[in-house]
Amino acid sequence: MEDKYRSSLLEFVKNNRDKEISNILLHTKVDTLDFDLKYACKLIEAKAKLKHKFPQWYNNEELIFISSISSEQSSSFQTAEHKSNYIKDSIVLDLTGGTGIDSYFFSLNNRVIYYNERDVNLMQATQYNFKKLNIFNVNFSSLSIDKENIEEYLLKICVDNSISKIPFVYIDPARRAKTGCRLKGIEDYEPNILSFLEILYKYSDKIIVKISPMEDISTIFNSLPSIEKIDIVSVNNECKELLLFISNPISKEYDNLLLSAINITPEYKQVTEFSIYQEREAIVKYMSDESLLEHYLYDPNSSILKSGGFKIISQLFSIEKLDKNTHLYSSKNYISDFPGRIFKIEEVIEFKSKNINNLYKNYPKANIISKNLPFNSQSLKQRLRIDDGGDIYIFGCTINLSKKLLICKRLNNF
């Protein structure tokens, strides 16, 4: 293994990691290398995917990553750390280990980690990396999990640790096929956890499944009605993953499904929790003062928007919704702990040609956002002829069937 990742290869990856692959292939003299150039480029591509997800690993010259798809699907360090907070000083099974970021964070606070990855080469690369990171409480295996072999594997872990059930099982199924195309729907993920979920219930009371943030929550619940809770996890207001919490095979009522809308920033973690029932029964206040001047404007974070908690936010923070289908809120009072962006409304403009044709003269630069308009933000920017940037935010939105532009200044930073 050490020879496979020889020093000359690591040095090449280090020196070329910020270059375009096409330029590397074009300008590198192959006869001067003692390794395969295409393989080196594959490593560079895979590592590049981690530049923003886990900078500490990206900047570690000793670490090797061999799969771009695995790196792309892997958790960021923020979301991995979030998951690791659910289990401490225990035994964890990571059934689909991949690049190993989740297993790494689990290993920092737990006694024993079982890492399994169906791709033996990927497993060996992660094993190599963990050795370099001085992580020695992880057991590695390479098993292509299915309903035929999973019980034997789970039973062995229980026997080896003298336990009846594994305290924590984590699964991050592949959301891309081997051809690279995206898979939609939990039943198409690999492995298909629905095919062996009944066996998992026998060997664990705590199962977390990570899925794509693009999946529809109600559709997922219909496929897997034993879900008790879903974490909707965003990093810096970009929705990254859904975490499904399952503890037993008993079907639940959809109304009782708990949603936890989480937004992780460098400064803090915003958490808003509510059930489907609470959202359905929430009493929403709609805007009463149409002038909006000197009001504060609230734009919920991406996790709340994904959750569909549009009414509960109004109730929880006593703020008024601008319109039934306009997911912006307003109040005369400043609410510092609102889970999202906060603005001060400076000007309200009716969306009419005579008002908008020369708006660019007053606001040559602004951040343009369309909410509940028949055209998107890019189209609105083109209509207004305003360049991107600056401190001004312009929200185009519908309020009581009337199209308006709200000229705002941002007050918080997350």
pLDDT tens digits, residue range 303-340?
999 999 999 999 999 999 999 999 999 999 999 999 99
Is residue 174 very low, low, confident or very high in pLDDT (cuts 50, 70, 90)?
confident
Choice among 16-30, 113-127, 324-338, 381-395 with the minimum mean pLDDT? 16-30
Residues 49 and 123 in one domain: no
The confidence score (pLDDT) of residue 251 equals 85
Residues 245 and 267 in one domain: yes
Q: How far is Cα 212 from Cα 337, in angstroms, rounded to an integer?
A: 28
Tell me, yes or no, whether 2 lies in a domain.
no
Is residue 344 very low, low, confident or very high in pLDDT (cuts 50, 70, 90)?
very high
Q: Which of 50, 71, 92 is the last residue of a domain?
A: 71
Does residue 181 surpass a pLDDT of 80? no
Q: How far is Cα 159 from Cα 9, in angstroms, rounded to an integer?
A: 41
Q: What is the CATH number of the domain that holds 122?
A: 3.40.50.150
288 or 174, higher pLDDT: 174
Does residue 89 surpass a pLDDT of 80? yes
Q: Give residue 411's identity as a one-letter amino acid code.
A: L
Q: How far is Cα 258 from Cα 7, in angstroms, rounded to an integer?
A: 50
Long-range contacts of 347-351 (CB under 8 A, 24+ apart): 347/293, 347/406, 347/407, 348/291, 348/292, 348/293, 348/404, 348/405, 348/406, 348/407, 349/404, 349/405, 349/406, 349/407, 350/402, 350/403, 350/404, 350/405, 351/396, 351/402, 351/403, 351/404, 351/405
Q: Give residue 123's identity as a one-letter amino acid code.
A: M
Q: How far is Cα 121 from Cα 173, in angstroms, rounded to an integer?
A: 18
Tell me, yes or no, whether 15 lies in a domain.
yes
The residues pairing with 408 across neighbouring beta strands, listed in sequence order, are 345, 393
Residues 64 and 212 in one domain: no
Residues 36 and 96 in one domain: no
Reduced to 3 states (helix: H, G, I; strand: E, B; else coil), residue 228 is: strand
Does residue 289 surpass a pLDDT of 70? no
Residues 249 and 170 in one domain: yes
The confidence score (pLDDT) of residue 105 equals 98
Tell me, yes or no, whether 11 lies in a domain.
yes
Q: What is the total count of domains within the chain?
A: 2
Q: Which of 71, 96, 116 is the last residue of a domain?
A: 71
The confidence score (pLDDT) of residue 33 equals 85
pTM given for the model: 0.93
78 or 184, higher pLDDT: 78
Tell me, yes or no, whether 227 lies in a domain.
yes
Read out DSSP for 126-186? HHHHHHHTT--SEEEE-----TTTHHHHHHHHHHHHT-SSBSEEEE--BSB-TTSPBP-SG
pLDDT digits (tens, 9 = 90+) for 90-120: 999 999 999 999 999 999 999 999 999 999 9
Residues 47 and 117 in one domain: no
Q: Determine what percent of the chain is predicted with pLDDT higher than 70.
A: 97
Residues 98 and 187 in one domain: yes
Tell me, yes or no, whether 367 lies in a domain.
no
**17 class by beta-carbon count within 10 Å (0-12 exposed, 13-18 middle, 19+ buried):** middle
Rounded to 5°, the CA angle 378-383-384 comes to 100
- Yes or no: say if 100 and 129 are a contact pair by the CB < 8 Å rule: yes
Tell me, yes or no, whether 338 lies in a domain.
no
Q: What is the CATH number of the domain that holds 19?
A: 1.10.10.1110
Does residue 290 surpass a pLDDT of 70? no
Residues 147 and 31 in one domain: no
pLDDT digits (tens, 9 = 90+) for 206-265: 999 999 999 999 999 999 999 999 999 999 999 999 999 998 888 899 999 999 999 999
Does residue 186 surpass a pLDDT of 90? no
Q: Which of 244, 277, 310 is the last residue of a domain?
A: 277
290 or 7, higher pLDDT: 7
Tell me, yes or no, whether 284 lies in a domain.
no
Residues 214 and 251 in one domain: yes
Does residue 29 surpass a pLDDT of 90? no
The confidence score (pLDDT) of residue 188 equals 87
- Yes or no: say if 271 and 307 are a contact pair by the CB < 8 Å rule: no
- Yes or no: say if 368 and 396 are a contact pair by the CB < 8 Å rule: yes
Residues 137 and 231 in one domain: yes
Q: How far is Cα 361 from Cα 106, in angstroms, rounded to an integer?
A: 54
Hey, what are 309's tokens? 């908690």
289 or 257, higher pLDDT: 257
Q: How far is Cα 380 from Cα 105, in angstroms, rounded to an integer?
A: 43
Residues 133 and 16 in one domain: no
* CB half-sphere exposure, 343, CA atoms < 13 A: 25
Reduced to 3 states (helix: H, G, I; strand: E, B; else coil), residue 79 is: helix
**Beta-carbon contacts of residue 33 (< 8 Å; ≥ 6 apart):** 8, 12, 40
Domain of residue 203 covers 84-277
Tell me, yes or no, whether 196 lies in a domain.
yes
Residues 143 and 199 in one domain: yes
